[in-house]
Amino acid sequence: MLKANKMRYRHASLILLCLALALLVTCATPGTALAKAHCRISVDTILAARGDNVIDPKLRKHVNELQSMFNYTSYRLIGSQTLDLAVGQTGTVALPGDRRLKITPKKIREKRAEIAMQMIKQNRAVFQTQIQLLNRGSLFVGGPQYLNGNLIFKISSSY
């Protein structure tokens, strides 16, 4: 009888240990899943032009990268907006010139987010693309003409 009680005790202990491990894994997983289910996307709108040498102080750390990709002498930050989106959810950023930029995180895998972007003007899509960004990464995308230059968008993400 003593041997049967020891067996039951070990069996019960093993079941409790398995339940504790399952609970630990379950509690740890939602935080990870939640982090991967949402993506914070920032859009900085930059007016790039020629003719003067004005560099917005907020863009000084990016000026070498901007000048290596775009042939402009002036860069002014004219707008900034951040969206917190779930995967599959679409957010919209208002842009100069009666334009809107629709942004949809399509999937987040490991260290990359796949993001769909569509620019709308007068209810018509004038541009669409998909990009991939590393966590806490950013990318400059050239845009349409505006005023005396062109718009450039800095797209950043974190998840």
pLDDT in 10s for each residue of the chain, 159 residues: 555 555 454 544 444 433 343 433 333 434 444 445 899 999 999 999 998 999 999 999 999 999 999 999 999 999 999 999 999 999 999 999 999 999 999 999 988 999 999 999 999 999 999 999 999 999 999 999 999 999 999 999 998
Its pTM stands at: 0.75
Residue 104 one-letter amino acid: T
Torsion from C-alpha of 71, 77, 79, 84, nearest 10 degrees: 90
Query: What CA–CA distance (Å, rounded) separates 89 from 104?
Result: 6
CB 41 within 8 A of CB 103: yes
Rounded to an integer, what distance in angstroms lies between the CA atom of residue 18 and that of residue 127? 53
Q: Which amino acid appears at position 69 of this protein?
A: M
